[in-house]
Amino acid sequence: MKLSTKGRYGIKAMVDIALEYGKGRISVNQLAERQGVSVPYLEQLIASLKKAGLVESVRGAAGGYTLARAPEEISVGEVLRALEGTTAILECVGVDGTECENVCSCSARPLWLKLQQKIDDVLNTTTIKDMADDYAVQLERMNK
């Protein structure tokens, strides 16, 4: 799995939105400024996150974005699948594993499956809250 900028910036945006969870909404302009990303690009990412039911938006002067669920209920894997489509490191270890013609005779496939399982375990057990908490500690250290 090679993360695209979509996945990287999408995760960072979700963490920033999570930092505001329970306090209010965050505007796309605030997110873009924090991330150093253009507003149109961020809007594309957020559209995918909204479609996946991860983010909600309100239009208007007091509008902005918030998480659709509590940050501890949203896994990093869920976010990446919404943005990237898959977290598979290779086609042969994807959802059905049928893309590879050598799937039955591949000597390396057991290793790829183990590696994929480890990656999925980390992505599916790490929540946006975990990342937001880690980031808050990082910010606190930087501000000392």
pLDDT band at 20 (very low <50, low <70, confident <90, very high): very high
Over 60: is that where the pLDDT of 36 sits? Answer: yes
CATH match for 5-142 among 1.10.10.10, 2.170.120.40, 3.20.20.100, 2.40.50.180 = 1.10.10.10
Over 70: is that where the pLDDT of 103 sits? Answer: no
Give the pTM: 0.88
Give residue 47's identity as a one-letter amino acid code.
A
Angstrom distance (rounded) from CA 20 to CA 82? 21
> pLDDT tens digits, residue range 43-80?
999 999 999 999 999 888 778 999 999 999 999 999 99
| End-to-end Cα separation, the chain, in angstroms | 36
Angstrom distance (rounded) from CA 36 to CA 117? 33
Question: Quick check: 67 and 55 in contact, CB under 8 A?
Answer: yes
SS (H, E, C) 5-43: HHHHHHHHHHHHHHHCCCCCCECHHHHHHHHCCCHHHHH
